[in-house]
Chain A
């Protein structure tokens, strides 16, 4: 039976071609969005709540970094070079890649059963003891179970669902809510968030959440076996097949 099981797995890809392609396209787009987002932030490292805010109004908070504009009172005696032109061009181009890739992934996830099979947690796993036992295993740095390269545990499933269905839609929404043209066509999308400056502040916080996810995600990939997991997400094969 065990031999049969291995043989079956050897021909089944760990991740489907659509998941692998959209994963790496999203990775590229996200890194471009992150770098350019930081550059745009540097031109005005202050955040506000409500409809408007500028250097003459009280900020909600400031990021203690120098700015790329001389008009911003940062306390630093120098001004960084302006990178907003290409950063804005690339930010929106990468956002298009992320959105179109995301739509392809979402359509695939629904119609192929990927969401139902791989991301939706089993009802039995959703109990408090089910979740806490996975957390306890992580905290004790226990090695992953033998099944884990082939299936996500309940914590992974919940995290991926949060990223796919909450954080990515939110970061796109808050980003679009800053656009004056989009605000003219869909004013409710801005009002619900509390105003255009609130949208900008929320965009920043959701981005921070996505960066935290990225850091933990990469750390877990390293802990679980970097080469093996990278191979699974690139060629679709898992190294356990060969052993």
Chain B
């Protein structure tokens, strides 16, 4: 073996070892700062990890653009939803007086709120853009209470990392990290455009996550679960979206 090739071998080996340990350190840091999405396994894992980590670093505290009342869409599109069934119709017939939003998991005081109680909480509104992953969008005013207010009321434990939220529709459930859950524009909404929240748009209660695409703004929410891990929910991919082939993080 000539000296040159041995030198090449050693420097090549060092480069590989350096690269591998660099990746290992990056992975450790990413895990420590919560930059790995729950659907990071599989073929598209590297891209998902890069997107989520990059956007979390750039947008942790950024506020979604807010618009003026004159920019509100005169023709918002509600999108189609699966049939809601008889039980929902009965609840609707009773003016949603029996609708409950349960809050459980890693909280000091698990609770269950009626729509009237939610409406009695501090009222906030935002005029934001709702975009669907398909490409269409509308601008609307959303009225509700910041999710952080509800999380404070029930006493979120310090180890909380995600909030899982479920819809009256059993196959639509999602989750967000604490950066989005505690974000000042993440609302439990009960009104829209200065009125009530129509059923087509998610009434009586819809979680609004304005820095992500429409499918993260789940309609007809019934339960919030605060957790430190998404492994125990569904197939452990974070939400219904990745189980149906869609990304868990929908900031892009």
Q: Please report A residues at the B interface, Cβ cutoff 8 Å.
A: 40-41, 43-44, 46, 51-57, 69-71, 84-86, 88-90, 92-96, 176, 178-185, 187, 190, 196-197, 200
Contacts and interface: CB of A to CB of B under 8 A. Distances in A.
Given A44-B135, A52-B138, A180 B46 contact: no
A54 to B, nearest CB: 4
B131 A96 contact: no
B213 interface: yes
Interface in B122-150: 129, 131-139
A180 B139 contact: no
Nearest to A93: B47
Contact of A185 (B43, B59, B73): B59
A229 to B, nearest CB: 31
Pick the 4 closest A-B CB pairs, nearest first. Answer: A93-B47, A85-B245, A181-B251, A89-B44
B58 interface: yes
A181 B183 CA distance: 12
A43 B47 contact: no
From DSSP, what is the main secondary structure of chain B's interface residues? loop
A51 B77 CA distance: 14
Contacts of A56: 75-77
Interface centre among A95, A183, A190, A200 (most CB of B within 10 A): A183
A136 to B, nearest CB: 43
7 contacts: A44-B136, A51-B67, A54-B136, A54-B138, A92-B51, A180-B212, A184-B210
Nearest to B241: A85
A179 B75 contact: no
B59 A89 contact: no
Given A56-B77, A69-B134, A196-B137, A179 B129 contact: no
A187 B44 contact: no
B211 interface: yes
A54 B77 CA distance: 7
A182 B54 CA distance: 10
B71 A181 contact: no
Contacts of B71: 51
Interface of B: 43-44, 46-48, 50-51, 55, 58-59, 62-65, 67, 71, 73, 75-77, 79-80, 129, 131-139, 210-213, 244-247, 251-252
Contacts of A89: 43-44, 47-48, 245, 247
A203 B183 CA distance: 30
Given A43-B134, A52-B139, A196-B129, A90 B44 contact: yes
Contacts of B212: 180-181
Contacts of A84: 133-134, 246
A51 B246 CA distance: 25
B247 A88 contact: yes
Contacts of B213: 180
Given A52-B139, A184-B211, A96 B47 contact: yes
Given A85-B244, A90-B44, A180 B136 contact: no
A179 B139 contact: no
Contacts of B48: 89, 92-93
A50 to B, nearest CB: 9
B75 A57 contact: yes
